[in-house]
Chains A and B, each alone.
Chain A
Amino acid sequence: MIRSLPNSTGYKYGFRVYVALFFIFLLLPLIAVSALAFNDSSAITLPWKGFTLDWFFANTDDRVGLFADEGLLTSIWISIQTAFAMALLSTIFGTIASLLFDKFNFRGKGLLYFFAIAPLVIPGVILGISILLASTAVGGEIESIFGVDAEIFSPGFWLVVIGQFSFGATYAMLLVSARLKKFDHALEEAALSLKATGLQSIWYITIPFLKPAIIGAFVVTFLMSFSNFNTTIFLVGSDPTLPVDLYSRIKFSSTPVLNAVSFMIVLSVSIFAFINLIINRNKK
């Protein structure tokens, strides 16, 4: 049944087979997509026609590899910039929100907290369209009153960042809050009784304690932004992020260069994950 109890052979092996099948189901698409990046063929599927690195490096009329594909490289770069800005904003606001809800009791706190966690249960498409509608309305007002075209309110880089930040801050807040629960408030009181101001005690005592969670929140929101499609698609301007670019290419013009990009993503995430595993293991 569990580790400490004797198990029948059928239970033990039956369970193992199921878990093995599950992990095959989990990893098969990633392995397939990565392997086909090295297929010497213009189709994204089998048959296998030999090994090539064309889909990374080629730059000919019928084959453009990842590192020669200007469009793809640009969308990767835009995604990195977007993710960095979104993660930074989300982490700052999320940390502030977690401190607010942890330290203070005030009228309307329950309602405010409800709105803060609402993005967990609001589908991304709804956040996308409502932010698009609101920003278009505001942009229209500004234009009719001041006669200037307020670019930040029309679809483009900053609207994507803002749209993703609207839910990113929620996740950052929850990650930081989880660590804040373990914080010994006596430390802050000690700082206050030694004549630190409220802000000083937060900055010098609480924030350093929260640092691992804040870094974690930054990484998580960065990855969320990098892979987001549902909200981004409505807010994106003429420069697509990587998921938006991938979507239109899968739909209309797929070549193995998509496998090459996918392979790079699979590889970087895996390396990152294993570094993380080793660091955590050494800590124990």
Chain B
Amino acid sequence: MENNKKVFYILLAPVLLWLVFLIIVPHIELLISSFKPNSGDGFTLENYSAFFADKIYWKTFINTTLYAIGVTLLAFVVSFPIAFYLTKVVSRKYASFLTLLLLIPLWIGELVTIYGWVTLLGDNGVINESLKFIGLIDKPLPLLYNNISMTIGLLYMSMLFMIVPIMTTLESLDDAMIEAASDLGASKWTIFRRIVIPHSMPGIINGSIIVFMLVIGDYVAPNILGGKSSLWFTEQIYNQFLSTFNWSQGAAFGFLLLGISSITIWMALRLSGQKLDKVGE
């Protein structure tokens, strides 16, 4: 047992180092900084009162949160049939190839794929030029720099995180269950509603949590693909840190973002009766 204790401390030390210095302390520092004045020491609430005093801040905050919830729902609607098709419908021969195709954009990274959408949606982009070529339009359609292009970007970079967990839960659903329901005369709709969706609920919740977090914390898609009116709360944080250098104000915004995303995730876990431990699986 003496030996075991030694192993325990050897393993514990690096883990503590990681979690204390890179997770716990920085987040405490974030909280403390948000109560500091921009220059000098002391305690102040002005960073938070500035948030409530200026309409642009709290409106952007609320819009971003609602928008992120909307994109999460959209990602579910788009992804679920794909996850079902890849696990249950397509012949196994193609399943692994198609799943691999799904993962490629993920590994390529957000910047390159968002840039791809710029070249597609721009005034002289691939889509506008193609439409002009077949004679459907004379003038380019304003496809880029608006809420639709921003939504496409957000959906594109996040939906894989919805598909993969749903696929994992669907793989554990025995086909015999669906066959039995079908033999007993259940319609497709009933089978989806009563068997497939309830069984994949843990995957749906996991996927939704990750997608929501990625979308609410994203900067690249809103900033590059969004228009002037597509305000995203992360942009306020970036501005405070990287242009106006008011770090205390930025810390307060950061803490508010962390707060709203934690509360939303906590509510999702609560309503579904799931534990955070399961999110990583």
Contact = CB atoms under 8 A, between A and B. Distances in A.
Nearest to A261: B112
B11 A96 contact: yes
Contacts of B74: none
A81 B258 CA distance: 30
Given A43-B124, A123-B217, A197 B109 contact: no
Interface string B157-188: 00000000000000000010011001000001
A19 B92 CA distance: 15
Interface stretch (B2-10, B45-53, B54-62, B197-205): B2-10
Contacts of A216: none
A114 interface: yes
Interface stretch (A57-65, A98-106, A144-152): A98-106
Contact of B111 (A93, A178, A246): A246
A221 to B, nearest CB: 12
Interface string B260-281: 0110010000000000110111
B114 to A, nearest CB: 8
Contact of A266 (B4, B101, B112, B223): B112
Contacts of A44: 118-119, 122
Contact of B251 (A114, A133, A272, A276): A133
Contacts of A230: 217-220
A234 interface: yes
B104 A269 contact: yes
Contact of A199 (B10, B188, B224): B10
Interface residues of A, number: 97
Interface string B75-111: 0001001100100111110001110111111011111
Contacts of A47: 124, 129
Contacts of B125: 32, 45-46
A219 to B, nearest CB: 9
Interface of A: 1-5, 11, 15, 18-19, 22-23, 25-30, 32-33, 36, 43-47, 92-93, 96-97, 99-100, 103-104, 106, 112-127, 129-134, 137, 162, 165-166, 169-170, 174, 178, 197-199, 202, 223, 226-227, 229-230, 233-234, 242-243, 246-247, 250-251, 254, 258-259, 261-262, 265-266, 269-270, 272-274, 276-277, 280-281
Given A126-B258, A132-B241, 17 more contacts: A3-B91, A29-B105, A43-B124, A45-B123, A45-B125, A100-B12, A116-B19, A123-B214, A126-B254, A133-B251, A197-B3, A227-B109, A227-B110, A229-B110, A251-B224, A273-B100, A280-B96
Interface of B: 3-4, 6-8, 10-12, 14-16, 18-19, 22-27, 29-30, 33, 78, 81-82, 85, 88-92, 96-98, 100-105, 107-120, 122-126, 129, 156, 175, 178-179, 182, 188, 191, 209-210, 213-214, 216-220, 223-224, 234, 237-238, 241-242, 247, 250-251, 254, 257-258, 261-262, 265, 276-277, 279-281
